[in-house]
Amino acid sequence: MKLRPRPFEIRVADSVLEDLRTRLRRTRWPDQLAGAGWEQGTEREALRSLVGYWADRFDWRAYERELNALPQFKADIHGLGIHFLHRRAARGSGVPILLVNGWPSTFLEELALIPPLTQADGIAFDVVILSLPGYGFSDRPRDAGMTPRATAEILLDLMRGLGHERFLAHGSDFGAEVVTQLALAHPEHVAGIHLSTFDWRPYLGEKSRPLSAAERDYVEARERCGERESGYDELKSTRPQSLGYALNDSPAGLAGWMLEKWRSWSDCGGDVIGRFGADFLCAMLTIYWVTGTATSSARLYYEHRWNQPPLGADDHVGVPTAVALFHHNVAGEGVPPREWAERLFNVCRWTEMPRGGHFAAAEEPLLLAADIAAYAETLDVDVRSRPVVV
């Protein structure tokens, strides 16, 4: 397909920002049980502190200027305007790599990867970071059916339209799901994939081998973890619209819904604001708020659960796959054994990181970038291409 990217700048109206501040200042706070802390969800005083900062001290305009200094674009793909960044390697012809995040994140999570990937002394990369359909500044799907598999087709057309006929892809959270679907459907275009979160449930039906002892322990740990951690998933994959009314109307509610996951899923030692910084978290939340994408991003869970066919016995990702495991991915879930991943993937690199969590690109960008580069060094393919100049 012929892609016609157009430069994109973020311009949030003053009236939208003033309305946001007014809503934050008028938050009607619920009570909280004495001594409950974070056990039943986002702790009230921690959220009150962040909401106060968001309303009165966070400078969105300064963040907006920083973002607009980056090469941002939008392109029409499958009837949707897709927002993306495209940064070329600092020297020579770079290896094209697509970086894809998921929820509760935005393209901001991947920005810290740009310098180490594009300016590396060894293999340097041409980096593409996109906002998934229904996320951030990409358009919201108007009809049902935007499953991870359908989203993968958009990713393919974006990369090919930029001149990258063969490329690498890195994914975290739902981004890992989408790039996996891309590799399953189009191995001729995907030279390899790199995953920093691993939430797959491989095919375990007829003809599958019995679970190993390590796999059984992992499945049991996931089930125990799910008893406390999976409520958000059940709600978003069954009633995203009902949830959306609250998140689209209350910025404090949006912050409470997302902050708990940034704390629980990261290697922050319980201090989520100290780990990521109030400005970064407020910028992330502001993007969800000003684009009205809390509901549309939640629908991806529904689409994945009900509209995408499950994995079958013959599904296997044949392209070389690297898995970087950050142990604090989800509290209590544990680390999958390699044989669990090998049920679905052609695992050629397996790295257990010393620190970091679910949001690895924001938490430990140098560790993650180094692992991506080391993985690329092992690939016996030439994926360099002449991209479209945008």
- pLDDT of res. 380: 67
Q: What are 353's strand-pairing partners?
A: 326
Q: How far apart are CA 384 and CA 171, in angstroms?
A: 20
Enter the tokens of residue 242.
């009902």
Six-digit token string for 248: 């689209």
Per-residue pLDDT band for 385 (boundaries 50, 70, 90) equals: very low
pLDDT of 225 > 90? The answer is: no
| Average pLDDT of the segment spanning 353-367 | 97
What is the rounded average pLDDT of the residues 346-362?
96
Question: Residue 164: what pLDDT?
Answer: 95
What would the two tokens of residue 387 be? 């991209």
- The question of whether 316 is a catalytic residue gets the answer no
- Catalytic residue, chosen from 302, 315, 316, 327, is 302
Q: How far apart are the first and last CA of the chain?
A: 16
Sign of CA dihedral 360, 256, 219, 300: negative
Q: Please state the rounded mean pLDDT for residues 14-29.
A: 98
- Cβ neighbors of 96 (< 8 A, separation 6 or more) are 125, 126, 128, 159, 162, 164, 166, 167, 168, 383, 384, 385, 387
Q: Strands 125-130 and 80-87, how do they pair?
A: antiparallel
- 149-197 residue pLDDT tens: 999 999 999 999 999 999 999 999 999 999 999 999 999 999 999 999 8
d(CA 324, CA 170) in angstroms, rounded, equals: 10
Average pLDDT over residues 117-132: 94
Structure tokens at 309: 């066919």
Mean pLDDT of the chain: 94
Q: Write down the catalytic residue from 288, 358, 371, 375.
A: 358
Asked whether 131 and 70 are in contact (CB, 8 A), the reply is no
Beta strand extents in the chain (DSSP E only): 6-7, 72-77, 80-87, 95-100, 125-130, 167-171, 190-195, 317-328, 345-357
Secondary structure of residue 161 in the 3-state scheme: helix
Q: Which band of pLDDT confidence, cut at 50, 70 and 90, is reported for residue 386? A: very low
pLDDT of residue 129: 98
Domains, in order of start, for the chain: 41-378 (3.40.50.1820)
Q: Residue 295: what are its φ and ψ, rounded to 5°?
A: -75, -45
Q: What pLDDT score was predicted for residue 101?
A: 97
- What would the pLDDT profile of 50-66 be if each residue is shown by its tens digit? 999 999 999 999 999 99
Does the annotation count 302 as an active-site position? yes
Would you state the pLDDT for residue 333?
Answer: 75
User: Model confidence over 253-304: pLDDT tens digits?
Assistant: 999 999 999 999 999 999 999 999 999 999 999 999 999 999 999 999 999 9
Rounded to 10 degrees, the C-alpha dihedral 39/41/46/52 comes to -170
Helix (H) or strand (E) holding 214: helix 213-229
Q: What pLDDT does residue 389 have? A: 44
Q: For residues 40-54, give the mean pLDDT.
A: 98
Q: Which residues in 108-262 belong to E strands, given as ranges?
A: 125-130, 167-171, 190-195
**Span 303-325, mean pLDDT?**
95
Does residue 382 have a pLDDT over 70? no
Q: How much is the average pLDDT of 298-322?
A: 95
CA distance 263 to 267: 8
pLDDT at 120: 84
User: Which residue type occupies 390?
Assistant: V
Token digits of residue 54: 């968001």
The percentage of the chain sitting over the pLDDT mark of 70, rounded to a whole number, equals 96
The yes-or-no verdict on residue 121 having pLDDT over 80 is yes
pLDDT, residue 332, reads 62
Q: Which among 173, 199, 267, 371 is annotated as catalytic?
A: 173
